Amino acid sequence: MVPIHPKHILIVGAGSAGKRHLTNLHDLGVPQFSAVDPRADRREELSAQSTVLGAYESVTAALDAAHFDAAIIASPPRFHVEQAQQLLKKHIPVFMEKPLCIGLQEALTLQQTAKSSGTAFLMGYTYRWWPPLQQFRARLDEIGPIRHAKFVMSAHLADWHPWESYQDFFMASKELGGGALLDESHFLDLMYWFFGTPSALFGDATKLSNLDIDSDDNVDIIGFYDDGMRVSIHLDLYGRPHTKLISVTGENGTLEWSFDPNCIRFSNDMSPDWQETSFSYERNEMFVQASKSFLNMLGGTETAPCSLDDGIAVMRMIEAVRQSTAEGRKISLPKGDA
């Protein structure tokens, strides 16, 4: 790929995620942006910024109006594949927010488009850029052969965007790609990043709470690995206080990470006193580092730390959970197949 020095990036989706990417990329030296959003109020808000050259209702309109060096897709998942295909066919590099899309088959269609285009693509499972989790992953060998890992994400949806009704947030809509399984597939990606693809999954994704949504708000998963290791994942959209944690137990101890307090703890004995490493990173740091990777990819100095194939691997696991939910049984996953 010929190195690109981006001067004009298209932000697809002008909600909170799109605005964050715009701010971070501008701080990293990108001078100009345009935006796509179907909502007139969002287009008007961004048009007032001096760094925004144009605001459009659709990707088609944007591509008809201007040339772009790269694009960020931060729209609801329902629209990801169609928008990414339009951009990749024009050889515009793409940084896509998670999840890749709603269903596996459309993800495989996008994979073919990306291969034909030969254009850079970065998948936005941003916890891979979170320094505490990078350190956590690097320390897993300390606890010896791993027997069990637990991932928990519990956070009440009404608290996510306090400036708007949660019913108006795409997360409330199954059709738009909301729900715990898709949006919090961060934790499926972390399982995959730490341990690889499990040989099988048993899962249940459903609606349990009184939230006024039609998407799933409770997900429980057990991952089975060929060496006997087990992984449990719990995701919900109704919990308070908010909890994000990972606990991994091996033959030589237990390693834990929590988001708040932001720390890693280690213990290998019965003492209540854990060895603790605390961190002061702001949450935005992971997004800044992901943006740096994208700019490095455009400049030809880095390959994708989280690729389209990684996003498809997560989609395979999501489909397995859906199938397990429908059939009430453990679902095998293909080996070595992204």
In whole angstroms, what is the distance from residue 288 CA to residue 24 CA?
6
Which distant-in-sequence residues (6+ apart) come within 8 Å of 1 by Cβ?
A: 118, 119, 120, 300
- For residues 306 and 286, is the Cβ–Cβ distance under 8 A? no
Task: Pick the closest to residue 133 from 252, 256, 235, 221 (CA basis).
Answer: 256
In whole angstroms, what is the distance from residue 234 CA to residue 140 CA?
21
Q: At what angle do helices 80-89 and 104-117 cross, to 10 degrees?
A: 10
In whole angstroms, what is the distance from residue 271 CA to residue 318 CA?
39
The sheet carrying 263-267 orders its strands as 275-278, 263-267, 253-258, 243-250, 146-154, 230-236, 218-224, 200-206, 331-332
Q: Could you count the other beta carbons within 10 Å of the beta carbon of residue 68?
A: 22
- Position 122 scores a pLDDT of 98
Does the predicted TM-score (pTM) go above 0.85? yes
Question: For 55-70, what is each residue's pLDDT tens digit?
Answer: 999 999 999 999 999 9
Task: Pick the closest to residue 98 from 320, 330, 335, 317 (CA basis).
Answer: 317
In whole angstroms, what is the distance from residue 85 CA to residue 101 CA?
12
- What beta strand segments (E) does the chain contain? 8-12, 32-36, 52-56, 70-73, 94-97, 121-124, 146-154, 200-206, 218-224, 230-236, 243-250, 253-258, 263-267, 275-278, 331-332
- Position 338 scores a pLDDT of 45
Strand, helix or coil for residue 256: strand
- Position 47 scores a pLDDT of 87
CA atoms within 13 A on the CB side of 224: 14
The three-point CA angle 255-260-264 to 5° equals 20
- Position 3 scores a pLDDT of 75
- Position 2 scores a pLDDT of 65
Q: With a cut of 50, which residues of the chain have pLDDT below it?
A: 337-338
Strand, helix or coil for residue 138: helix
- For residues 32 and 53, is the Cβ–Cβ distance under 8 A? yes
In whole angstroms, what is the distance from residue 157 CA to residue 149 CA?
25
